[in-house]
Structure 1
Amino acid sequence: MEHAMKKYICLFLSTLMFLTIFSPVNCYARDGKKVIRVGFYTMDNYQECDENGNYSGYFVDYLREISQYTGWEYEFIQMNYSACLKSLNDRNIDLVCGVDYSSFRTSTLDFSAQPAVTTHYELYALKDNDTYYYNDYADFDGMSIGVLASCNHLDALDDYAAAHHFSFEKQYFGNTAQLEKALEDNTVDAIYATNVSHPSEKKILASLPSFPLYFVTFKGNPIMEYLNYAQTVILNVNPNFEHDLYNTYQRDIRNYRCEFTRDELDYLATAPEITVTCDPSNAPIEGYNENTQTASGIAADVLDLVSQYTGLHFRYIKSDSFSDALSKLRSHEINMLTALAHDYSWAEQNHALLTTPYLNSSIVVVRNSKPQSHERDIVALPNSFNLTNSILDNPEYDTEDVVYYDTIEECFQAVLSGSADCTYADNYSANYLLSQVKYRNLSSTTLTAMTEAASFGLSDQCDPRLLSIINKGLACISSEQLDSIVLQNCSYREDPSLFTLVYAYPRISIPIILAVSMALLSLLLGILLVHSRKTKEIRVMSETDALTGLYNRRAAEDHISRQMQEDGKNPDCVRPLISIDLDKFKQVNDTYGHLEGDALLIAVADTIKTSVRNSDIVGRIGGDEFIVYLGNVTDKKDAEAVADKLCTAIRSLSTLKPEWSEISASIGISFADRAEIEMEELYIAADKAMYSSKGNGRNQYQIL
């Protein structure tokens, strides 16, 4: 009996211990929402709390974005980094942000499937410090470096110093303000930090290797599955989410000025003059201004900024054509060409070194709206261009009959006159030429699988330091500056004249000539008509998906949001949003190629448009995903009927071609359950319903 009693007591204690250790006590509910306890340690710009208890920073905003998909609320529990990890291991909290991965931690912790951020530390000195220079490791030996006492990555600094053979003395500080004050007072030579205030007053001495930081929870905590799902959806919806969020909180000192090594400064001290040439007929990317004897266009404006950031001096030398400019580069008559395709084989053939690309463009095919009578396409291509080689080497394009011209504009003229059926060009050059009245009968189509980047090409006999200096100058140019340069150069300014009006509108040429008194009014009318047409074309192009002709993502969202507001005035409207994702589309793409995939997407788009009302809003929001908003619908069954009709109609496409035999659609429907609901929230609900359809076997619709 006594033995049996001991047995039951042991069993009871074992059960109690199991429940204590493995019960998920950390998460609890508040007003029906799951509350996640987050270990919160202070990390400048990543996790901060002001004197009023307001939390902010990169990780805080990331968690708030995640909560939109999980419905979580957070309780931030402040402690230092080590205490956060210990508390997590003890299962007293659920989550810690910004933990670097190490294999020994995986036995007790679960890491998020994707990093939360990738960051790096740098060594900063005062701007006017003449003792230390960028990556000048020999002079680093014996320097005094200020660090935060709470820093978790001091080992990385030790390893970096050992790898570059210099020793240093650490001085510890309690917070960032004390750290930067020590630098300003010359108490330390440099500080070790991820970012600094007043970056224009400091310079970077060294950039340490970057490393990823993760969200972590204790082993087996089910919240990680939901966090991974939310993170995946966030990055699928907006691939730039982390980049944009990082830029919100981090300011890179390299946006202010270049950091040069001592060798690079020695090179700049010699004040070398860099000789530059360009293609004189490649607007808007490059050109030559005869009046000022200097280059013009996007490349020239970018090079002006490089000169400002680096102190380099450029002198332009005129070339008669791109072939002439390329010849000067190959023969080392000049140091630099302003635009060279970023292709290493092409650069090697031309004895050139490539800088970082400063411009990326898609490639378009240009045709005449009036069909030609040639048996097969005659293709006009510019001579000596890397694009020409790319087109000729691509088996997808019919280039049996090719006629070569010196410039891109001559190729356009050949297509306009009927001497050729089509030509190819980068989208910047094509749009610039197509905006001219004389090319009004030409139109372009984007080749989705082909792009080209433009770099500065340096002679391979140049000093290697020049390449490094120019690349550092390019890195200082912000995206806003580059966008401004492109906008200023891509607007073709055609001088209004009587000739232009007659050329564009031959039917009114005789009245213009006979009625001189009406010339000014007719000219003004002509300009307004051209401007109106171009404005309308630009607006339509900006809203239209190039492949299917449906609204693109941005336009669909704008139109749906406006229609939702209008429908919201009627309380009986259910405001249904339908999310459509094709099943087995990737199989068609991978097996039969992108052209077959594109044909299927066009067929699906046409099917959707014919299956709904003209007043309904249909858009392609990416890949094989479509959305439909049904306006002025008061009965949810009507929306369900449309979804069922779409399932049947899309599935019927499988009978049209054997390549499409497996195609069907998974559809999700969501309804506005309250007046103030936003389009984004309605879309997320429809998207979840769509994924539910996929999970339940595809070729069906689900309602959320």
Structure 2
Amino acid sequence: MADYLNELKKYHPQWEFEFVEGDWSNLLLLLREKKIDLLCSARYSAARVGAYDEAAQKGGYCYSAKPIGQLQGLLYTNEANSDLYYNDYKKLATTTIGFLKGSLNIELFEQFMQTYYEPDYTIADKNTNSKYIKLYENETAMTTALEAGEIEALATENLSYHDDLRIIAKYGCVPFYFMSYYESDLMPEIDSALSAIKADNYYFKTELYQKYYATSAMHQSPLFTREEADYLKSNPQITVGFLPDRFPLSHLDRKTGELTGVNEDIAELIFEFCGISLQMTPLDFWEKTADALASGKCALVAGVIYENFDGNSDVVVSNPFMTSNLVVASKRGMAYDQTGKHTIAINKSFEFLQKYIAEKYPNFQILITDSVEASVQAVLDGKADVIMQNAYVLNYLLQNPRYDSLQIIPTEFLTEHSAIVGLNHDTNQLLISAVNKAIVALPQEKIDQIINANTIAQPYVANTSDFIYKYHACLHGMKVGVSSD
């Protein structure tokens, strides 16, 4: 919150802040007595609004015109607790949970259970300890109680940072505001600054949240249900297919038989989050994904284009785990025009792009080739005007001196969303559901590291054949003397 206040200060540089710590009830009293000027993270509830309105009539409180964020209730348990899983409503009804005294979390949790578990679920007395509800003065005391085994879970909110606990429920989502005493001269200035922040940097709140909470358990731990966790435990290994010919995204080394690339590394991380080992298998060159799945060669295929399978009832497809761009390359100096008549070279296995071009650009003629390299060669030979392919794939290929006469055209053609797909049956639906939760938990910085390790850190290395090709004019007719000494 200090960063938020400092951002406000940019618009009112005369402000100076002094921070006062205390529990909520004491801070409210200090605010009402005008011993402090501002409270952060004030939430509304039906009960509180009435209380605040009454206080306002007696010289009480006022709020910022716009919320400064959203607060969501969270239930945490210890990582080692193997008896509690995400949204296990029946189990939560008999779980001992710690709450902060006077917190809206109790009311929000009650509403959550009434919606998803039992309409008649009630917490009879929200102000005293009971069999399953324990109240604490502060979060430190509540966390200590969890560690000591006095409670099985603790209720807090998304702005409380925990990286060593596991989330078992999310509930409620309410706005929170800046709050001051009634008729404070400060609030109009805060409102004007909040409007200015939104106008100057629309993503300020998102960036601030990512700065402080990207590594919290809320974002780093997959939220598996009991059914998902049981399935993963009973299926410790899975066979996943990969395309053999899209370096650096996915590549089969024909000498060693090893699969490497961005897709392989990210998939390994996803299934590591799921707690199962990954058995990689290459699809045959030109083998269709649907055929590989139907034959039983693999349970899933990773690195497919999401849009190619979305809406297909025969398969179940994950959320995208990576986004990249499809770009256009041509000979240098060519005048590319999306409304013109061009011949587009596309490799045979890139079915999605073939269908997309046919539907969206009927003015283009498609030339099907056996591989990405063959598509590039078709442009060199004048059989095609351009090649369309993933930016990572083309950036690598065009480092080859054989392709010096080609260029990537500075136009954004299409976004590619990489995903994981399997046949549509009950177990795969459960597996893909778990995979999606692992994808959500993937740290973006880790994905970036994987991409960089397979692209920037692995530039094309020219071989002797490339050298001869590039300098063939200089070498042509050269006589080389060899001494026997």
TM-score range, shorter chain: 0.7 to 0.9
Aligned length: 455
Deviations, residues 402-438 of structure 1 (Å, cap 9, x unaligned): 2122433332222222111112223222222222222
Question: C-alpha distance in 2, partners of 1:409/1:99?
Answer: 60
Deviations 1:532-579 (A, max 9, x none): xxxxxxxxxxxxxxxxxxxxxxxxxxxxxxxxxxxxxxxxxxxxxxxx
Other structure's SS at 1:418 match: coil
Secondary structure (helix, strand or coil) at the match of 2:178 reads strand
**Aligned-partner Cα distance in 2 for 1:91–1:367:** 70
Shift of 1:116: 2.0
Q: What is residue 460 of structure 2 aligned with on the other side?
A: 494
The CA deviation string for residues 50-95 of structure 1, in whole angstroms up to 9 with x for no partner, is xxxxxxxxx2220111101222333545565356567767877654
Which of 203, 209, 212 lines up with 1:246 in the alignment?
209
Corresponding position: 1:473 with 2:438: yes
Pair 1:61 & 2:27 matched:
no
Aligned with 2:420 (options 456, 459, 477): 456
Match of 2:190 among 214, 227, 232: 227
Number of the residue aligned with 1:503: 469
Which piece of structure 1 moves more, 217-226 or 305-314?
A: 217-226
Equivalence for 1:484: 449
State yes or no: 1:411 paired with 2:375: yes
Give 1:80-119 correspondences, 5 Å limit: 80-82=23-25, 95-101=38-44, 104=49, 112=64, 114-119=66-71
Structure 1 residues 318, 95: closer, same or farther in 2, change over 3 A? same
Q: Output the CA distance in 2 between the equivalents of 1:333 and 1:452.
A: 25
Cα offset, 1:191, TM superposition: 1.0
2:97 aligned to which of 145, 148, 170: 145
Of 133-142 and 68-77, deviating more is: 68-77
Alpha-carbon distance in 1 for matches of 2:261, 2:318: 18
Alignment match, 2:233: 269
- Taking the aligned partners of 1:270 and 1:242, their CA distance within structure 2 comes to 41
Q: For 1:33-57, what per-residue CA distance to the aligned partner results, in whole angstroms no more than 9, with x for missing partners? A: xxxxxxxxxxxxxxxxxxxxxxxxx
Cα distance in 2 for residues equivalent to 1:170 and 1:154 = 9
SS, match of residue 324 in structure 2: strand
> What letter corresponds to residue 266 of structure 2 in structure 1?
V
SS of corresponding position for 2:140: helix
- Tell me if the contact between 1:332 and 1:459 (Cα under 8 Å) persists in the aligned partners: no
Distance in 2 separating the partners of 1:112 and 1:446: 45
Q: Distance in 2 between matches of 1:440 and 1:326?
A: 37
Distance in 1 between residues matched to 2:410 and 2:316, nearest whole Å: 29
SS in 1 for 2:430: helix
1:330 touches 1:352 (CA, 8 Å); kept in 2?
no
Partner of 2:319, secondary structure, is: coil
Higher helix share: 1
TM-score by length of structure 1 reads: 0.58
Match of 1:74 in 2: 17
Cα RMSD of the aligned pairs, angstroms, is: 3.5
Q: Deviations over 1:420-472 (max 9, x none)?
A: 11122232222222222222221113444732211111221251220122122
Give the match's secondary structure for 1:132.
coil
Aligned equivalents of 1:179, 1:208: Cα separation in 2: 19
Structure of larger gyration radius: 1
- The aligned amino acid for 1:368 is K
Alignment partners' CA distance in 1, 2:4 and 2:479: 67
Aligned to 2:127: none
2-side partners of 1:317 and 1:177: how far apart? 49
Task: Check conservation: 2:240, 2:279, Cα contact below 8 A.
Answer: yes
**Whole-Å Cα distance in 1 between the matches of residues 468 and 65 of structure 2?**
64
Distance 2:436 2:207 in 1: 23
Which residue is 2:309 aligned to? 346
Query: C-alpha separation between the residues in 2 aligned to 1:113 and 1:392?
Result: 51
- 2:83 aligned counterpart, secondary structure: coil
Residues 335 and 462 of structure 1 are in contact (CA less than 8 Å); yes or no, is this contact kept in structure 2?
no
Within 5 Å, which residues of 2 pair with 1:347-366? 347-349=310-312, 351-366=314-329
What is the letter of the counterpart of residue 154 of structure 2?
I
Distance 1:69 1:348 in 2: 48
Match of 1:334 in 2: 298
Which residue of the partner structure matches residue 388 of structure 1? 354
For residue 310 of structure 2, give the secondary structure of its aligned residue in structure 1.
helix
1:79–1:180 CA distance, 2 compared to 1 (3 A): closer
Instruction: Flag the 1:414–1:133 CA change in 2: closer, same or farther, 3 A.
Output: same
| Residue identity matched to 1:405 | T
Q: Quick check: 1:502–1:508 contact (8 Å CA) kept in 2? A: no
Q: Name the amino acid aligned to 2:42.
A: V
Residues 1:438 and 2:380 aligned together: no
Change (3 A) 1:310 1:241: same
Distance in 2 between residues matched to 1:331 and 1:482, nearest whole Å: 31
Q: CA deviation at 1:223?
A: 5.0
Do the aligned partners of 2:109 and 2:172 also contact (CA within 8 Å) in 1? no
Task: Measure, in 2, the Cα distance between the counterparts of 1:113 and 1:294.
Answer: 59
Separation (CA, whole Å) in 2 of partners of 1:430 and 1:234: 40
Cα displacement string for residues 208-229 of structure 1 (whole angstroms, at most 9, x for unaligned residues): 2433322345677675554345
Change (3 A) 1:513 1:390: farther
Q: 1:78 to 1:409 in 2, by over 3 A?
A: same
Q: Aligned to 1:420, what secondary structure does the other structure show?
A: coil
Write the distance in 1 (CA, Å) between the matches of 2:10 and 2:94.
Answer: 50
